[in-house]
A and B are shown apart, each in its own frame.
Chain A
Amino acid sequence: MTAMAVPASLDPTRSFQGLILTLQNFWASKGCVILQPYDMEVGAGTFHPATTLRALGPRAWNAAYVQPSRRPKDGRYGENPNRFQHYYQFQVILKPSPPDLQELYLESLYAIGIDPGVHDLRFVEDDWESPTLGAWGLGWECWCDGMEVSQFTYFQQVAGQECAPVAGELTYGLERLAMYLQGVDNGFELNFNGLEGEGKVTYGDVFKQAEAEYSRHNFEYADTEKLFRNFAEAEKECLALLAAGAPPEGSDQRHKQVLPAYDQCIKASHAFNLLDARGVISVTERQGYILKVRELAKACGAAWVQTEAGGG
């Protein structure tokens, strides 16, 4: 860790941002590139191309970042202290998965103030699968005193491609982790900046209004016709870009349009999530939409391995 003195207000057990900074510092010290959030609406940190696409191909890749994630259906108008339609994930991806990944993970918990001498830390079977990303892996949910604080996965397949080598993925649910560290039962009462008295800013100060407004949007106001259109357009553009950037048949040239195409896949996925929240997609249709997004993700995965970063 750095020698820089950390002010008390950034103590990860007292400050939400302190928690984030500590995790960033920790993983930076382990050789990760610290990225910033992807600038699009995604449902989870896994959707960031730094995970979805970089998990593919032979090249080593170690990265960590915070990803604001949106799950429109989880909105509760700011009335439920545990469930938000917008929340933060801290995401770490290490390829190939290092032999001491479990130890590194535990060390990161110690760094944020979890003492293994008094806490009960456990790796409980939880296999991960993302039907929309055509991805799956084996791993655990990591428990601290009976609470799930992270998801730990060895990716076996992403975007329909076998992972070779396998990447290890860690996802920390930041709000829940911070609530536990700060001893707070209501997420909106989390101390965001670690200050006390007048200078104190809570999670609720930052996000409560947004939760209420977005819940209304997600469940009541979002323009469904526009969203259906967005979905169709994104799908179309994704495929068009992939076709336009594809190397000529039989050539050994690289693919030239994967990242922009993948952005469209993300857009389609978010449009679907909003439509789902609006309740305008029937059970049968739902499966169809998931399949469509998966096909886009798979097409992007197949193109990615023909790029330089994808090792093609």
Chain B
Amino acid sequence: MPDLLLELFSEEIPARMQRQAAEDLRKLVTNALVDRGLTYEGAKAFATPRRLALTIAGLPARQPDVREEKKGPRISAPEAARLGFLKSIGVPESEFHRFELYEGHSVSLPERGLSVEVRGTGKDATAFAIIEKSGQPTLDVLAEILPGIIRAFPWPKSMRWGAASAAPGSLRWVRPLRSILATFGAETEDTEIVPFEVDGLKAGNVTYGHRFMAPGEIRIRRFDDYVMKLEAAKVVLDADRRKEIIKTDAQNLAFAQGFEVVEDEGLLEEVAGLVEWPVVLMGAFEEAFLDVPAEVIRATIRANQKCFVLKKSDGKLANRFLLTANVEAKDGGKVIIGGNERVIRARLSDAKFFWETDKRVWAEDRDFKRLERFRNVTFHEKLGSQWDRIERIRALAKELCKVTGVDPAEVDLAARICKADLQTEVVGEFPELQGFMGRVYAGLIGEHASVAAACEEHYKPVGPNDTVPRDPVSITVALADKLDTLVGFWAIDEKPTGSKDPYALRRAALGVIRLVVENGVRVGWSSVENFFGHWIHAGLADQVIQAAGETSRLQELYEFVSDKIPPIDPDCMNRIAAQHWIEFLEQSTFEDLGRFHFVAIELRKISKYKSVDLLSFFHDRLKVMLRDQGARHDLVDAVLANGEANDDLLLVVRRVEALGEFLATEDGKSLLAGAKRATNILRAEEKKDGEGAFEAAADPALLREPSEKALHAALLTAGEAALHALGKQDFEAAMRVMSSLRGPVDAFFEAVMVNTDDPAIRRNRLALLATLRRVTRQVADFTKIAG
């Protein structure tokens, strides 16, 4: 069976795009072949900085033949039907006369693979067309599909070039496409060139070796000799092999000198995309640079020079680096190492300068007066400056101190300086070091360890696998930071949709949940709601402006409105809110106070609505989190159903846990079945008698059976006990109460017929079941539980 080899040879492809491009090429070509009836045994794609390559093994030499039958008109149909049919199957008009339709007649046009025959007799006699398509040679199919795939290739960014770009619609590629190699043929035979052309580039059987070491033309027959000849021409085709070579050589070089490579998978992937022939070399820098924190050195050498750093046996950074050249130099790499050392020296001098400057600034400006500059840094167009944001975090953190029980003074300092490192030179140069540098600098000037830690940890947890802060100061600031983000973006309607979550709000919500659950913190929703209040009237200001009329007493209006919305902290929060209102009032003109009043009330409604919406976002995130942990996320809906204390995420989780444990017991399973049965019966009967028809308490006088009386008594006790246990948030106890119901419920269903003929007794029994439903709902809505 023949194989395809395709190579698209271009100018240097960005490293970060290569892997995806190879994968896209494989999918596009194999899908197009399969769509045309051409299946294959295997396909693999490769990328280097200068080429995308694809090999597809085991393709048939031609498409299978296809035979298709088409039913036409009865021969008794009008002439127009006959003509239409002939036209539709592709009979040329000049041949129509040969295609008279009468019983037993058949006629064919072999050159079109077409015949028509009349089947049946009498009034059933009907024309049928038989269309036979012989499969095309695979070579022709390839020639047909490849140009389209190349033209429409999904590069993240593509460009035009050269003289051809004068005309519209010229070929676009990631960088200029220089040549195309496309051969097709069986293993034992000579291969053929797939005959196609794209914008004047004709496919051939030629490629080129390494840009400097073997730039000449190479003739290729098929994949086997392609890989070998490229290797001989100093090109390692497979990115994973290049990675392996770099990794092994790096480890060996390091080991020989008693060092260890600081592994960096992201960098390794990138470097493998920058070379066709990796040659790892070791360079050194002055010991004196090691005063700079290791993270800064690593970031410098990684980001700018794409080099790996090394550590000594004691774990400290060594004054060495590993570079990956793309060439075997005549001098063994001396010049290359020297050049890289010069650049790294210059870069590290800059880094050292940044580090020293930052240290000096932190030491000199102990009051953090420089933070004023955040007033001029926009956080988000609609959410104010970075200064505003920090003020909000401070205000919210202060509120949260009440639940985290931590020294508000420490928290306030931490909240105030937690973004200070964004102003440092080092973070300006290496944004990925944000947080970390704050901790280092705060530590250096002697801030309390908790405050310094919060500078880094308030960003945490960054993802599901990141650690959650344990220090109460960090917890408080981290919660404030994330809640401010969520509330702010909710207020301006920038919620995540589908796969789009540009502000990482899902991550922030998950962070809040993990902070709360893993530290046992109980955040009341009312503070979040208040917080919303402040946001909403700012966020909606422009809409209000549009609806506004005229007034002359703005100050009066302002005071009126600010009165309507309760402040968290009159000094701070209100100031931010007021600022928005003043801006808005300056631009607006209202007819009267009444209208303004109306607006304020509306805004409060919206803030309530938004906070409920955000809460349900948290519940969704909680379900996702539990599902990812393999826990039963259906229990979330069950415990949320009673509508109480749902805003306390910690309690929601505790309830889910207790319910999960209960349902794992025999009592739990049995009670679940009983409760579901009761609800189903109630639902059916409520359809007849109306919603809420059985909510009155059961009348003890109408209880007949012993098991009925027993259930009644059990429900009375359990109702009280569950209420009591839940009041103490003792969910285990509440579940034990539920266990006590299992026996009476089972016995009831065993012995009692609910729908008896006596309407009073029926009603009373249904009331008993409704009580059961109410009692169990205190813990969970069992109908929402699967199984």
> Residues on A close to B: CB < 8 A?
58, 82, 96-99, 102, 116-125, 127, 137-140, 144-147, 154, 156, 163-166, 168, 180, 185, 282-284
Contact = CB atoms under 8 A, between A and B. Distances in A.
Given A147-B343, A166-B165, 9 more contacts: A118-B330, A119-B329, A120-B326, A120-B339, A137-B159, A146-B323, A164-B166, A165-B164, A284-B376
Interface in B328-349: 329-331, 334-336, 338-340, 342-346
A118 B340 CA distance: 13
Most buried by A among B12, B167, B334, B336: B12
A118 B343 contact: no
Interface in B346-387: 346, 376-378
Nearest to B12: A123
A21 B14 CA distance: 33
A164 B305 contact: no
B346 A82 contact: yes
Contacts of B165: 96-97, 163-166
Given A118-B336, A282-B376, A98 B162 contact: yes
Contacts of A58: 166
Contact of A124 (B212, B274, B323): B274
A139 B160 CA distance: 11
B340 A145 contact: yes
B98 interface: no
Contacts of B158: 138
Contact of B336 (A138, A139, A145, A185): A145
A145 B166 contact: no
A122 B274 contact: yes
Given A165-B162, A180-B342, A283 B329 contact: no
B43 interface: no
- 9 tightest A-B contacts by CB? A145-B339, A125-B14, A123-B12, A165-B166, A146-B340, A120-B325, A166-B165, A96-B163, A118-B335
Contacts of A154: 159-161, 175-176
Given A147-B343, A166-B161, A96 B166 contact: yes
A145 B377 contact: no
B273 to A, nearest CB: 9
B212 A116 contact: yes
Contacts of A137: 159
Most buried by B among A98, A121, A154, A163: A154
A96 B161 CA distance: 8
B176 A99 contact: yes
A154 B49 CA distance: 18
B330 A117 contact: yes
Contacts of B627: none
A145 B343 contact: yes
A94 to B, nearest CB: 10
B376 A283 contact: yes
A84 B722 CA distance: 77
A269 B378 CA distance: 24
A122 B276 CA distance: 11
Given A146-B305, A147-B343, A156 B160 contact: yes
Contacts of B411: none
A288 B157 CA distance: 27
Contacts, number: 120
A162 B342 CA distance: 40
Interface residues of B, number: 48
A138 B343 CA distance: 25
13 contacts: A82-B346, A96-B163, A96-B166, A98-B162, A118-B331, A118-B334, A123-B12, A124-B12, A146-B340, A147-B339, A154-B176, A165-B162, A185-B345
B352 to A, nearest CB: 13
A208 to B, nearest CB: 19
Contacts of B162: 96-99, 165-166
Interface string B144-172: 00000000000001111111111110000
A185 B286 CA distance: 15
Interface of B: 11-12, 14-16, 49, 157-168, 174-176, 178, 212, 274, 305-307, 323, 325-327, 329-331, 334-336, 338-340, 342-346, 376-378
Given A120-B336, A144-B339, A283-B378, A165 B326 contact: no
Nearest to B335: A118
Contacts of A127: 157
A180 B14 CA distance: 26
A146 B326 CA distance: 11
B664 to A, nearest CB: 55
Nearest to B281: A120
A117 B212 CA distance: 8
B158 to A, nearest CB: 8
Nearest to A284: B378
B329 A120 contact: yes
Nearest to A98: B162
A163 B170 CA distance: 12
Contact of B12 (A97, A117, A140, A180): A140
Given A97-B161, A119-B329, A125 B15 contact: yes
B274 A119 contact: no
A146 B344 contact: yes
A6 B126 CA distance: 93
Contacts of B336: 118-120, 145-146
A165 B15 contact: no
B339 A180 contact: yes
A70 B258 CA distance: 48
A237 B325 CA distance: 52
A146 B339 contact: yes
B385 to A, nearest CB: 9
A139 B429 CA distance: 23
Nearest to B337: A145
B23 to A, nearest CB: 19
Contacts of A165: 160, 162-166
A122 B178 CA distance: 18
Contacts of B14: 125
B339 A156 contact: no
Contacts of B338: 145
A279 to B, nearest CB: 11
B619 to A, nearest CB: 38
Contacts of B164: 165
A122 B336 CA distance: 12
Contacts of A123: 11-12, 49
Given A58-B166, A122-B326, A166 B160 contact: yes
A119 B305 CA distance: 15
Contacts of B377: 283
A301 B250 CA distance: 51
Nearest to A138: B159
A201 B343 CA distance: 25
A148 to B, nearest CB: 9
A170 to B, nearest CB: 14
A277 B344 CA distance: 28
A196 B274 CA distance: 40
Contacts of A124: 12, 274
A119 B176 contact: no
Contacts of A180: 339, 342
Contacts of B160: 154, 156, 163-166
A119 B337 CA distance: 9
Contacts of B11: 102, 123
